[in-house]
Amino acid sequence: MSTPEQTVNLQKQVNVLARLLEVSLILNSNLALAPLLRFIMDAACEITQSEASSILLYSDTTDELRFVASNSPNTPQEQMAEIAVPMDGSIAGQIVREKRAIVIQDGDEDPRIYRVVDDSIGFRTRGLLGVPMRIKDKVVGVLEAVNKREDAWTEDDRNHLSILASQAAVAIQNAQQAEALQKAYNDLAQIDKLKNDFIAIASHELRTPLGVILGYASFLKEEAQGEASEHASAVLNSALHLRNLIEDLTNLRYLQLGKSELSMEEVSVKDLLEAAEHDVQSLMIAKGHRLHIAWDGTDTVVQVDRSKIGMALTNILNNAIKFTPNNGQITLGVESRPHEVWIKITDNGVGISADHIDKIFDEFYQVEDHMTRRHNGMGIGLSIARGMVVAHEGRLWAESDGPDRGCTFFVALPLNRA
């Protein structure tokens, strides 16, 4: 039969183990480093009935220990972080070297205590319990409990603090990795933003002079004779190639488009078509195409992001211009349906075979072999156009009777009549 004292001790053991289980659950669910460290310090003091506790992590670079957390009274964390603890001549260093717990019951009589820390923060270490923090077989630091409030350190204190140290080591590593991952993500996001800003500015600045080059090259090609006309054609073709590259660069930033990025407004379909026609006018002239708008006079209003849908229509028109031989015919049409409006872009170009008709909307897909193809581009214009239309809860598809028989693209948008 157990004595009252044994019963009390057993109850204390149960309480501590329950607390360690609770601590384990919290450590495994928290990836924020600063509150995690504070929680470990408080748990160490509570479990061992200590005045203070601290965590020191080992640095392979400097071969010394650094405080990453401490709840010593009246001591700012920043002040503790500036203190380096050498591996030689310190209890923490000995714990790491020997990979074992060390207990000092009477600190006043033990010369191993590194008094530089006490002197720096105005604290007196009377007793110390330190245990190694392990990740697998590697000791990464030390968890210390300082100044037992009552009696002396016990074997239970050492076992309980060792359990906490093992949990803390893994939790700290996970939190550090999460912080490093978040920092890397933020850095990548910033780089991506800089890239997008540069592409947007560069594309915008290149459009104006390139438009002038296209205009004059087209004029020279028509007016010049003989060799001069051939030179003008070479300039025009190079300018068209450059225009395609600029369009692809502009489009790269829109490969992934979500609804949250849309700025919706009421826009007439007529305005959308006229804006798209204006955007491709120089290319149309350069290739000698004729653009016909099949308009029945009935205007229709849709709720869209003007610039995004405008870019989708421009991408489809650019595709029609690119794959239609010189002096071709492109038609823009509108058809009203009960709950949506269909915009149709029809050309008399190279057409699309049945086995390619659904693949042309895939990112970077090219119908022609990349080594022998005659038409330039990265193959993202149509995939971006479909993404923009789908973001508006619309549809984009293509129909063709086969090679050399032209193609029609359909853009279906939800209807909102004025």
What are 93-102's pLDDT values in tens digits? Answer: 999 999 999 9
Residue 129 near residue 145 (C-beta atoms within 8 A): yes
Indicate whether 399 and 302 sit together in one domain.
Answer: yes
The 10s digit of each residue's pLDDT in 26-56 is: 666 666 777 788 888 888 888 888 888 888 8
Supply the pLDDT for residue 239: 79
The dihedral of CA 136, 137, 138, 144: what is its sign? positive
- 139, two tokens: 């000791």
- For the chain, the domain total comes to 2
Supply the pLDDT for residue 371: 40
Supply the pLDDT for residue 394: 93
Read off the amino acid at residue 68: V
Indicate whether 266 and 380 sit together in one domain.
Answer: yes
Number of other residues whose CB lies within 10 A of the CB of residue 97 = 12
Three-state SS at 364: coil
The 8 Å CB, 24+ separation contacts for 201-210 are 202/249, 203/246, 203/249, 203/250, 206/242, 206/246, 207/246, 210/239, 210/242, 210/243, 210/246
Write down the mean pLDDT value for the chain: 81
Residue 384 near residue 310 (C-beta atoms within 8 A): no
Single residue among 155, 180, 205 that ends a domain in this structure: 180
Is 233 inside a domain boundary? no
Three-state SS at 32: coil
Supply the pLDDT for residue 410: 96
How far from 34 is each of 30, 40, 69, 133, 292, CA to CA, in Å? 10, 10, 9, 18, 65
Q: Which domain CATH number covers 164?
A: 3.30.450.40
Supply the pLDDT for residue 6: 61
For residues 91 and 103, give the distance between their C-alpha atoms in angstroms, rounded to a whole number: 9
Judged against a pLDDT cut of 90, whether residue 206 lies above it is answered with no
**DSSP secondary structure letters along 1-18:** ---HHHHHHHHHHHHHHH
The 10s digit of each residue's pLDDT in 319-362 is: 899 889 989 999 999 988 888 999 999 999 989 888 888 888 88
Indicate whether 125 and 261 sit together in one domain.
Answer: no
Is 126 inside a domain boundary? yes
Is 225 inside a domain boundary? no
Higher pLDDT, 174 or 347: 347
For residues 380 and 363, give the distance between their C-alpha atoms in angstroms, rounded to a whole number: 5
- pLDDT confidence of 25, banded at 50, 70, 90? low
Which of 70-84, 234-248, 399-413 reaches the highest mean pLDDT?
399-413
Is 100 inside a domain boundary? yes
For residues 415 and 59, give the distance between their C-alpha atoms in angstroms, rounded to a whole number: 64
Structural domain span for residue 79: 4-180
For residues 147 and 105, give the distance between their C-alpha atoms in angstroms, rounded to a whole number: 9
Supply the pLDDT for residue 97: 92
Residue 352 near residue 359 (C-beta atoms within 8 A): no
Q: Which domain CATH number covers 296?
A: 3.30.565.10
Higher pLDDT, 258 or 169: 169
Indicate whether 169 and 261 sit together in one domain.
Answer: no
The 10s digit of each residue's pLDDT in 365-394 is: 665 544 444 555 556 788 888 888 998 999
Supply the pLDDT for residue 20: 67
pLDDT (average), residues 1-16: 64
